[in-house]
């Protein structure tokens, strides 16, 4: 059962997602501790040193490996400032991909919450099935919730 805090954190993740540079992967992540304090945030973007006009970004096949995913950015930010994410909840705008699922498992996240209103592209459906299995196998609770319109 979702509560007002779930909705607020998911709305914040959606707001953060608007900062994503790649329009096809607008994902925001808010990592929240057990006492509802925000421990870290992240959004999809390019790693430091990659400019918008970088030639490597023109070819879509080469573009995706350069993108830092929202969940990974949140984990890296927490590591830089010395904040532990163990036992936290990750609120994300889409279910995590398999790459981010591995990072969430390693960071010790206990729960992943995402909105059901955002449908990921069909080309990633198989990857999302794999990531869901990975998270469940690691004992991470997955909680999709419906945001009010």
d(Cα 64, Cα 84) in Å, to the nearest integer? 28
d(Cα 143, Cα 110) in Å, to the nearest integer? 11
**Which one from 71, 111, 125, 137 is the annotated catalytic residue?**
71
Of 86, 93, 80, nearest in space to 10 by CA: 93
d(Cα 66, Cα 87) in Å, to the nearest integer? 29
d(Cα 146, Cα 43) in Å, to the nearest integer? 21
Secondary structure (DSSP) of 42-63: EE-BPPTT--TT-GGGTSHHHH
| Extended beta strands in the chain, E state | 28-32, 38-43, 89-92, 111-115, 141-145
For residue 14, indicate whether it is catalytic: no
Give the active site residues.
71
């Amino acid at each position: 059962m979702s509560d007002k805090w779930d909705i607020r954190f998911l709305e914040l993740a959606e707001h953060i997602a608007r900062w994503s540079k790649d329009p096809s992967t607008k994902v925001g992540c808010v990592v929240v501790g057990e006492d509802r304090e925000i421990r870290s945030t992240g959004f999809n973007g390019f790693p430091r040193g990659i400019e918008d006009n970088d030639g490597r970004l023109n070819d879509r096949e080469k573009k995706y490996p350069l993108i830092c995913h929202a969940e990974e950015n949140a984990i890296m930010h927490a590591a830089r400032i010395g904040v532990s994410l163990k036992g936290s909840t990750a609120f994300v705008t889409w279910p995590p991909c398999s790459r981010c699922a591995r990072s969430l498992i390693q960071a010790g996240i206990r729960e992943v919450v995402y909105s059901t209103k955002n449908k990921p592209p069909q080309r990633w459906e198989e990857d999302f099935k794999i990531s869901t299995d990975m998270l469940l196998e690691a004992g991470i609770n997955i909680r999709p919730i419906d945001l009010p319109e």
